[in-house]
Amino acid sequence: MRFNAKDLALLARRPSGCFDKEGKLKICRVVRDEKLIEPRERWCRLKGNLLFLMKNKSSEASEVVILERCWVVEFRSKTDVSIVLKFQSGEPDLYLEAASKPDCESWAVALGEANSEGLQNKIQHLRRLIMEIKEERSSDEARQFLPSSQVDSLGEPQFTSIQRIANEPKLEFSLACKDLVAATRDRKLNTFIQVSVVHPAEHILTRYSSTEIVEGTRDPLFLTGVTFPPEYPIYEETKIKLTVYDVRDKSQDTVRTSVLPDHKDPRADAGRSFLGCATFRVGDLVKSKEQQLILTLRTSDGGKTVGTIEVNLVKMGELEDGETDHITTDAQDQKCALVRECRATEGISGKDNLPSLNAVLKNPICKLYRFPTSDNKWMRIREQMAETTLSFHVPKELINLHIKEDMRRNQELKDLGELAPHWDNMRKSVIAHCDQMLSMYQDTLAELGKHTGSSFKSSCSKGEKTLEFIPINLHLQRMHVHSPRLKDALYDVITVGAPAAHFQGFKNGGLRKLLSKFEAERRNTGYQCIYYSPENTAKAKEVLSNINHLQPLISSHADLLLNSASQHSPDSLKNSLKMLSEKTELFVHAFKDQLVRSALLALYTARPGCVLKKPAVPRNSAEEEGDLQHQDHPPQVKRQDSIPHHSEYDEEEWDRVWANVGKSLNCVIAMVDRLLEKDNISNTKESENDPSAADCKVLHTGGDWYEQLYPLVITLKDCMGEVVTRAKQSMAFVLLQELACGLPQCLMLTLRRDIVFSQALAGLVCGFIIKLHTSLHDQGFLQQLHTVGLLVQYEGLLSTYSEEAGMLEDMAVGISDLQKVMFKVIEAKSEDFLPIITGRREHYVIEVQLPAKMFELLPQEIKEGKLLRMYPVLFNVGINEQQTLAERFGDTTLQENINQENLELLKEYYKLFTEKMPPDCLPHFQEQNDLKGLLENLHQNIQAKKRKNVEIMWLAATICRKLNGVRFTCCKSAKDRTSMSVTLEQCSILRDEHQLHKDFFIRALDCMRSRQTQGALNESDDPETGCLTDNKPTSRHFYPVALLLVSSHLLVVWLILSLALLLAKYQ
């Protein structure tokens, strides 16, 4: 940006009254991670978006600050008189300190309103005031001429609303033109229609949308429709303006239809020319008998007729008459607000289904098409894409669980008791690192709590640290198809960026490689700590979780038992004893593992003094740590030989302590049986002799029951407490070894895994809820859900080259970790339908809440709280130019291994499905041989190792749909590759399942991929903000590949130059 220095100096010297604000401030620049320099006093003058800094009031301006793309941070404390200007460009912050708090506040307001955004807000405010004044004047004038009886009823403008089905768009219509007049006779018109809305209350023309371009005809029939969402303020009095343009040069006329001023026609050099326009009232269209309007197109001066335009009211549930022979091309997009749910069937309506679904979906965008079928009939397609509130809700819930789990673990490490100096120093180091990580989680949760605005993370934010737990571009992509002879159908795909730790980077690979490398390094650290395999550390976490869960339950059931004894209630006593027995048996079973015994022995050797009564040899030779303890324990004991031995360790003591719990429970059971038996005998005798004496006996024996059971219950609690203390310490010691062996890599890998898992889980929860809602009336699916589980198929489009290989490794581990997630459906007790997450890192339960009417439709097994299993599978095929390089000069082993591993998981699910489900449970695909053939075909394609074998993706997606699974499509950012894949899949479904005319497959595909139809977008808008993208890669992707295909020598040269640039970058 260039400035005229003389003009700026002249502006700075103008009289005081010419400035918006001026005064003394102490100012300095603040560079991140550097100390604050002592502020210097300056005379500051604010004019528009320019802040002049001068040494004194009469001196020249020493600096000019442009107040654009910046924001003001005001400190809220009563004593603080400073503010900070932060710049989006990354320039050092500007620290400003005023003389008083009122002065500081006035500067904060002035600086906040100084930029162009503040000016726009002022303009909008003034416009609203003008409109209010106009309405007041028109109302006053009307009151002067209306009779007094009508004046009382004249208040706010009353408009006639359009009556539509709940949860359906208010208005939808299709467009066609006839007999258009071209500027020259030989000219073949390429036309599109721009749709604008005139709101009756404001009388302002608002651009709403535009159609696709139809080429080479004067009678264009547009395959796109116009949709107005349920909450859109459209009434019968609303006017809609239709403007027809002729596109001369399609390459110059892409999205510019949306950025022209409303009151101006396009310039001739914009690549198109104005043909004509027409206007109609919505009420005229809705009330017309044929539900059709034929309007005359006229030039801007209203004199010349240039053709006609046909407007047809559209209802998704009704068939459209007419043949399709004269259709010429493409289709369009539109905006729609509330997502249309599945067809209402018996027992429940879309209105009942709406609140719980809208709790997780928001800001949907809708595109309306009409395509011809093979028998020349019309089918209508409504394509919707919606954000989900779960993008932020699930990560925040998950981080909160991580914080609680880590705080509990840190406390358990502190409760280990006295340790030898070597182990004590190790514990202090581990706790210090864990506290730092815990603080990071807490800061991240606090930052996410401050987030406002969009409910999804765009791809340009994938490198932000505060948003690293949030999935990228998580959306629901839904296609609702209404065919003339087939049942309406919904096809859902969840689109999301590959779950990966983008902020941490991929210089050293992704989780798959890092975890393998870390595990190998841990095995070689036996001289510092005791090695426990990942299975053993997972078992230790499970034992600790069981302790924390079962101990309070057992204590509460024991108290209930004593309460029943004091009330002398035999039935209640039996029930309390039954619950106490079940929980205690689970408690005892949790410690029936060699790991606890060997960990107790290892913990004893870490005490300040120890003598082993028996050799430190684990009894279970099958355990992986057995051999290592032969190596590790003797050095530890030998290192502590200088410490006086003051105790001896008896390995059999743990067996005795552990067995005491079972013995104490047996004593309680025996005592209850004896008391109940005596009570039965006593009641029989007393009832035969004197009934009134039996009542007295009840009061006497009630105290006896309590007194006889109380010492036994206390003994049970004491024995259980001793077991808990020892088991907790031993398992905490195992976790100490896991952390100590790999600091700080262990914690960093845990963080990376948490980040990736958080992104994957948010998508899974969204997919499960959507699938449950749309299949609520499918009894076969519900039976499959609780009997077998839900298949979740991820389609990956990442290459195995450069950073994307690391993303694929992260994604593979994150999706695999979803196997430890279980779902549970519960009845909602309030209006909050967001899911509830419980559990720990090794096991999570997601509780999905449904309204009472929907909950009643579920099978009894699900209503009783049965946990529902997930079976996630990932198939990846790189399709971009980077994958070409990987296949020719790199390595595709990672992709091949992932596909092979997940094929085995898919076969396992299919095996369970065939074993547990009846053969006719799939309504659309009842032939089991069909699925067998698809699986065999998928197996052959994976084994073939063919380059860019997209047949793998199509087969996996088809199998998933046939098995009632949930479909995901992922690439780096869920934009270009993802949208191309989804649109291709949608058109293929229309062709194979709904008889799309074969000649219109490419046209339908172009319609769904067209960016021309995004009438509400500007050229600079990010397509992630809610609209489908233009899926054609930009030229910067095409030109290098086109050149490289000319010669293999050029390819080699290009690779050498790329390597040189990479080396220079990382040096």
Cite the active site residues: 971
42 strand-pairing partners: 25
CA distance 770 to 476: 9
Structure tokens at 540: 């230790």
- The DSSP string of 274-297 is EEEEEEEEHHHHHH-TTSEEEEEE
Going by the DSSP 8-state scheme, the letter that residue 64 receives in this structure is E
Dist. CA 913–CA 926, nearest whole Å:
13
Which two structure tokens, joined as six digits, stand for 577? Answer: 């004893």
DSSP-derived pairing of the beta strands 190-198 and 239-247 = antiparallel
Q: How far apart are the first and last CA of the chain?
A: 33
Structure tokens at 974: 């869920």
Q: β-strand 966-971 against 790-796: which pairing, if any?
A: parallel
Specify whether the CB–CB gap between 339 and 364 falls below 8 A: yes
Q: In this structure, what token pair is assigned to residue 524? A: 């070689």
d(CA 233, CA 228): 9
The structure tokens 């009942």 sit at 352
Residue 782 tokens read as 């519900």
- Which three-class secondary structure string do you get for 75-130? CCCCCCCEEEEEECCCCCEEEEECCCHHHHHHHHHHHHCCCHHHHHHHHHHHHHHH
The DSSP call for residue 469 is T
Q: What one-character-per-residue DSSP string does 998-1056 give?
A: GGGHHHHHHHHH-STT-TT--TT--GGGTS----SPPHHHHHHHHHHTT-HHHHHHHHH
Identify the CA nearest to 228 among candidates 259, 201, 195, 257. Answer: 195
Which residue in 1001, 1005, 996 sits closest to 374, CA to CA? 996
Distance CA 608, CA 424 (A): 10
Q: How many CB atoms are located within 10 Å of the residue 381 CB?
A: 27
Phi, psi for residue 176 in degrees, rounded to 5:
-155, 150
How far lies 259's CA from each of 332, 1010, 1011, in Å? 18, 17, 14
Cα separation of 6 and 559, whole Å?
Answer: 87
State the DSSP string of 596-623. HHHHHHHHHHTSSS--BSS-S--S-TTS
Two structure tokens written together for 56: 């004194």
8-state DSSP, 222: E
- CA torsion 51-57-63-68 (nearest 10°) is 0
Q: Which two tokens stand for residue 619?
A: 């009894």
**Number of Cβ atoms within 10 Å of the Cβ of 984:** 18
Give residue 713's identity as a one-letter amino acid code.
V
Work out whether the CA dihedral 547, 550, 552, 554 comes out positive or negative. negative
- The pairs formed by 885-888 with CB atoms below 8 angstroms and a separation of 24 or more are 885/801, 885/1055, 886/799, 886/800, 886/801, 886/805, 887/947, 887/948
Which has the closest alpha carbon to 386: 451, 341, 332? 341
- Could you tell me the sign of the dihedral formed by the alpha carbons of 853, 857, 861, 865, in that order? negative
For residues 992 and 318, is the Cβ–Cβ distance under 8 A?
A: no
